[in-house]
Structure formats: structure tokens, C-alpha cells
Structure 1
Amino acid sequence: MLGDLIGEEQGETTGIRVLSTDGGHPVMEASFRATGTLLGAQVKDMGTYESVLRADGTLWGEGQGVTMTQDGETVTWHGSGVGRFDEKGAIDWRGALFFETAADRFAALPGIAAVFEFHVEDDGTSTAKLYEWK
């Protein structure tokens, strides 16, 4: 069941690379940076994910990143998801994240799975929402 909203952010794509075109299924890497909130704390988030364009036109992606507070508290995350292009060329991603941290403020995160909505416009700007999966 979808639980409480635990984070929101706005950001931008900082780089894209084509890793492979073998077999007609392009593999691309994208990096992003964002600012927002996580469990009520102001954070900066940065991550990199690889995506594969599948034969049906959807994307499969896996990524990792780090989220930091101004005080230097960190949370690392790994995730995967599925992306779909909309009629304007933007991509809507849905998936799950899993966390590691030693920061007391974020002590609840390693014990949960979180589901995300990640929207990337064709100009690279992005928005994300993160919910606890109960």
C-alpha cells in the first residue's frame, strides 16, 4: 500500500552518455542533481542511472545516488524502475528505492522500501515524489 509522502525534489539532468547500441536496444546513462526535502530535512540529491530502451518503447532503469543535508548527513540509495515517454517527449518513471545511512535523522530509511514518481522533461528539468511503501 502507498504510504506517506517522505520526500520531494526538483532538479536537472547534468549529463547523458550512450553506453551501448548493441542489439538495437540503446543503453544510456544519465546523471542528475536536485534539491528538496527528505523526512522534513532540506537536502541535495545527486544520482546516476542507466536505462535500456526496450522493444515495446518503455525504459528499464537502475541507479544509485547520495542525498546530503547541509550538516553533512548522508543517505545512499539504490533503485530501479520503469519509464514511459509521454506525447511531449518527457519521461515518467515509477520504481522503488532502498537506502543505507548512519545518520540518526534518517534512521528509519534503511528499514523501508520507498516508491517514487520521477518526471523528466525533454529539457532535462525534473521533479520527484517519494512515498513509503507500507
Structure 2
Amino acid sequence: MLGELIGEVNGKDTGRRVIAAGDGHAVVEVSFAGTATYFGVEVSGFGTYETELRADGTLFGEGQGVDMTADGQTVTWHGSGIGHFAEGGVVKYRGAIFFSTSAPQLERLNSAVGVFEFDAAPDGTSSGKLYEWK
């Protein structure tokens, strides 16, 4: 069951590269920077994810990143999800994300299982929402 909204994320691609391609299969790596809010605490950070284009046209993505609060506390995260192409070339991902932090104001993240809705636009912008899975 979906629980409380953990927060929202917004990003912009900083780089892309093809890791593998051939026979209708491709793996693309995307690096990005952005901002987020976790339980009302603003952070900024960066991350990288790899997306594999699968034979059925769906995408499988895995990523990781580091975010920082205004007072220098860090949050690391790992996530994975399934994506599909939507109108206008937007890729819509849905998946799970896990956090680790020693920031006192965000320690609730350490025991949270997050589920996300994340949209990546062809122009390199992205946005999403994170919910706690209860």
C-alpha cells in the first residue's frame, strides 16, 4: 500500500553515453544533477542510471546517486524500475528506491522503502514523486 509522499525530484541530464548496442538491444548510461525534497528537507545532488532497451520495447533501469542537504549532510540512494515510451518521447519509469543517510533530520529514510513515478523527457529534463511503501 502506498503511504506518505516522501518527496519530489527534478533533474537535468549532464551526460549520456551508449554502453552497448546491437541486434535491437541497447544500454544507455545517463548522468544527471538536480534537486529534491525528502520529508520536507531540500537537497541537491547527482546520480547515474543505466537503461536497457529490452526486446519487447520496455526499459529496465538501475541507478544510484548522492544528495546533500544545505548543512552538508549526505543521502545516498539506489533504485531500479521498469520504463516505457509515452507520447512525445517521454520515458515513464515506475520502480523502487532505497536510501542511506546519517543526517538526523532524514534518518527516517533508512527504514523506508520508496516507490517512484519518474518521467524523463527527450530534452533531458526529468521529474518524479517518491512515496513510502507501507
TM-score by length of 2: 0.95
Which residue does 2:91 correspond to in 1? Answer: 91
**Residue 123, structure 1, aligned to residue 90, structure 2:** no
Q: Deviations over 1:68-89 (max 9, x none)?
A: 1111111100110011101210
Which residue does 2:30 correspond to in 1? Answer: 30
Please tell me the root mean square deviation across aligned C-alpha atoms, in Å.
1.1
- The separation in 2 between residues aligned to 1:36 and 1:60, in whole angstroms, is 23
Which residue does 1:54 correspond to in 2? Answer: 54
Question: Structure 2: which 5+ residue stretches go unaligned?
Answer: none
Percent pairwise identity: 57
- The separation in 1 between residues aligned to 2:59 and 2:87, in whole angstroms, is 15
Q: What is the SS of the residue equivalent to 1:105?
A: helix
- The separation in 2 between residues aligned to 1:39 and 1:69, in whole angstroms, is 12
Runs of 4+ in 1 over 6 A off after TM superposition: none
- The separation in 2 between residues aligned to 1:47 and 1:96, in whole angstroms, is 16
Question: Structure 1: which 5+ residue stretches go unaligned?
Answer: none
- The separation in 2 between residues aligned to 1:66 and 1:108, in whole angstroms, is 17
How many residues align? The count is 134
Paired residue type of 2:32? F
Alpha-carbon distance, 1:25 to partner = 1.3
Alpha-carbon distance, 1:34 to partner = 1.2
Q: What is the SS of the residue equivalent to 1:56?
A: coil
TM-score by length of 1: 0.95
